[in-house]
Amino acid sequence: MITWNNLNTVPAYQELQKAAAINLAEAMAGEKGAERVGKYSVPMAAGLSYNYAGKQVDEEILKALAKLADEAQLAEKFQALYNGDVINTGEKRRVLHHMTRGQLGEAVVADGVDKRSFYVEQQEKIAELANKVHSGQITNAAGEKFTTVVQIGIGGSDLGPRAMYLALENWAKANNTFKMEARFISNVDPDDAAAVLDAIDVAHSLFVLVSKSGTTLETLTNESFVKDALARAGLDASKHMIAVTSETSPLAKSDDYLAAFFMDDYIGGRFSSTSGVGGAVLSLAFGPEVFAKFLEGAAEEDKLAAGKDMFANPAMLDALIGVYERNVLGYQNTAVLPYSQALSRFPAHLQQLDMESNGKSVNRFGEPVDYPTGPVIFGEPGTNGQHSFYQLLHQGTDIIPLQFVGFKNNQMGRDVDIQGSTSQQKLCANVVAQIVAFACGKADEDRNKNFEGGRPSSIIVGEQLTPQALGALLSHFENKVMYQGFVWNINSFDQEGVQLGKVLAKKVLAHDTEGALKAYSGLLGI
């Protein structure tokens, strides 16, 4: 029987608090450090591995974390989730995003429908449309092929799909699977839509409107912006737009779209990259076969995440080390640092994934928790970040745990040898140097040049950022966030914190304001 308990009532947590903290600089020095690098590593899907040698853990702490995993019933709770239990208590919904890429457990029937079959059916319909667009069976009014796809959406309808597109754009070009350029419109700021529309040929562009409810203010505003541009170009908008929405939304059976593909309430926006939300734009951009490989990598990693043994479950292990850092060591932030330009928007996606999921101060039953929950997430690709905020990471007053991502090979296959090493080798040398510099530091009598070290990090390493590797990487972080929510006994699958601002914005636009709301409205000329 599963029980849901606050972290500070779990016996293993008390044990974890009593465990002696390790001296990371000493643990990572010399041959001891080399042994740790070889020992503290867990295989992931698609040839990736999670290495946590640079974390402030030892055998005693890891043993306590494994005990915490068992006592908090993490594997059992994940099993309940993928078997269709109502895990999203805030909205009284199942949580089924894993089913968009595979079936880990028993069949789940909801609303009279087998959900795995439903998601596969939508993927097949998207693949059919994408193939027809690529072959020229579906064209613009002049009979010419579409060359650009533009996604209109915000939040999870933008951040994940945009990050995944950018991650695979160069790989697709190098592997001759690049079909259409993708652009994204998200911000209700008119300059966002205008800049995209000015940069594309609207006559050869296919627009993907993504809104589960069909009522998202920013998305519908941007749709109107796009329709106006199409009309001014003498084009029929209904021949240039498709919708990704729910079956019950006003968009579902509208004649305003070439086609509509469906999602449901069991997949939150920030978990929707492997659903039709990401599937439509990625299948159009790279082909359905590439999207299928992306799903394959995510499904393979999900299987690892379902394991009960923490030491063979990289997502669970990463999550529990993060809980130790947040709740015992007191670290408030986490930096995500991919040493891959292709992952330039991946930290932005993880900001939403993590902070929208676990930015909660009440437990699953609505009771206040008296311990920290989700950390602040930020990041940029290396080596750019090194010339930006790494100063604070190395010598600032706060210790910030770091999550690196690195690949042995680049995506494009092009490089140049300068001063005895290639650009890729220089990139990899930098991430290696940073891990050791953060952990070990460097003593100097000049305090301005002294590095204390003891700054923890992990790294996910792979051969190359392929569709399968990207899927595995996405799954890893989705499952890490889920497991941390389970440990903290919070609901990671609703987002009430984004609603109040929306309600007040509608009052402002209706001129139904008073007090500070009215004063600020006047300040901004509304």
Q: Which residues are catalytic?
A: 356, 387, 502
> 142 by DSSP, 3-state: which?
coil
CA-wise closest residue to 443 among 456, 430, 454:
454
Separation of alpha carbons 278 and 298, rounded Å: 13
Token look-up 């929510």 returns: 485
Any idea how long the chain is?
526
What does each C-alpha distance from 63 to 50, 69, 139, 317, 481 come to in angstroms?
18, 10, 60, 11, 21
Separation of alpha carbons 489 and 89, rounded Å: 11
With beta carbons less than 8 A apart as the criterion, state whether 477 and 422 touch: no
With beta carbons less than 8 A apart as the criterion, state whether 469 and 412 touch: no
Bridge partners (DSSP) of residue 41 are 51
**∠ Cα 351 344 435 (to 5°):** 85
Bridge partners (DSSP) of residue 334 are 377
> 246 by DSSP, 3-state: which?
strand
380 phi/psi in degrees, rounded to 5: -150, 160
The dihedral through the CA atoms of 67, 70, 73, 79 has a sign that is positive
CA-wise closest residue to 95 among 70, 120, 111, 78:
78
With beta carbons less than 8 A apart as the criterion, state whether 334 and 401 touch: yes
